[in-house]
Amino acid sequence: MAGNRTFTMIKPGAVRKNYEGAILKMINDAGFKIRAMKLTRMSTTQAGAFYEVHKGKPFYDNLVKFMSSGPIVAAILEKENAIEDFRKLIGATNPENAAEGTVRKLFACSVTENAVHGADSDENATREADFFFSTFERFYDYE
Ligand code: IDP
C-alpha cells in the first residue's frame, strides 16, 4: 500500500454500541482520509481466514467467533506514515495497556473486544484491503 495507506475495521462490539461515528471522527481528526468504507459482516470462515496468522493460538477460536458475531465497518485510510500513525492512534492491543486518549483506551472493553483493528505492515494492509474491497470501491485519486 505504498507506505501511506492502512486498513482498519471497527469491530462488532464497537458497532453494537454505536461507537462507529465517534471512532470515525477521531480517525478524520487525526488527519486520515477515508478512501474506501463499508458496513459488512464476516462469516466464521471469512473471519478465520482474515486472522489465519493467529490459527492455533489460544485466543483464535474466540476471536473468530467474536469477529463474525455482527457487522463491522471496514475501511482503507490514507495519510503519510499511515501504518505507524494509525497504530499510535488506536493504542495497545490490550486496552489496559493503551495510552490515554487512544481509541482502544476510550472504546475497548477487553483484549478480544478491543474496538478496532489496524494493519501492522504495508504488506498486511494490502492483503486486508484486498480481502474486503474491489478496485471499484476504492477512491485513491479522489481529492
Ligand atoms: P493487533 O490487533 O493490535 O494488531 P494482534 O496481535 O494482531 O493485535 O491480534 C489480533 C487480535 O487478536 C487483537 O486485536 C485482539 O482482538 C486479539 N488478541 C490478540 N492477543 C490476544 C490475547 O492474548 N487474548 C485475547 N485476544 C487477543
Q: Does the complex come out with an ipTM higher than 0.90?
A: yes
pLDDT score at 2: 54
Using a 6 Å cutoff on CB, does residue 11 contact ligand 1?
no
Q: Which residues are annotated as a binding site for ATP?
A: 11, 59, 87, 93, 104, 114
Q: What is the pLDDT of residues 21-77, one digit of tens each?
A: 999 999 999 999 999 999 999 999 999 999 999 999 999 999 999 999 999 999 999
Q: Residue of the nearest CA to atom 6 in ligand 1?
A: 93
What kind of fold does domain 5-122+124-132 have according to CATH?
Alpha-Beta Plaits (3.30.70)
For the chain, domain boundaries: 5-122+124-132
SS3 sequence of the chain = CCCCEEEEEECHHHHHCCCHHHHHHHHHHCCCEEEEEEEECCCHHHHHHHCHHHCCCCCHHHHHHHHCCCCEEEEEEECCCHHHHHHHHHCCCCHHHCCCCCHHHHHCCCCCCCCEEECCCHHHHHHHHHHHCCHHHCCCCCC
Please tell me the distance between residue 112's alpha carbon and the centre of ligand 1 in angstroms.
Answer: 6
Backbone angles phi, psi at 110, to 5 degrees: -165, 175
Task: Give the residue numbers marked as catalytic.
Answer: 117
To the question of pTM greater than 0.95 for the whole model, the response is yes
Q: What is the pLDDT of residues 72-103, one digit of tens each?
A: 999 999 999 999 999 999 999 999 999 999 99
| pLDDT tops 70 at residue 17 | yes
What confidence score (pLDDT) does residue 3 get? 78
How much distance in Å is there from the Cα of 33 to the middle of ligand 1?
25
Pocket test for ligand 1, best of 42, 63, 103 (most atoms within 8 A of CB): 63
Task: List pLDDT tens digits, range 110-143.
Answer: 999 999 999 999 999 999 999 999 999 999 977 6
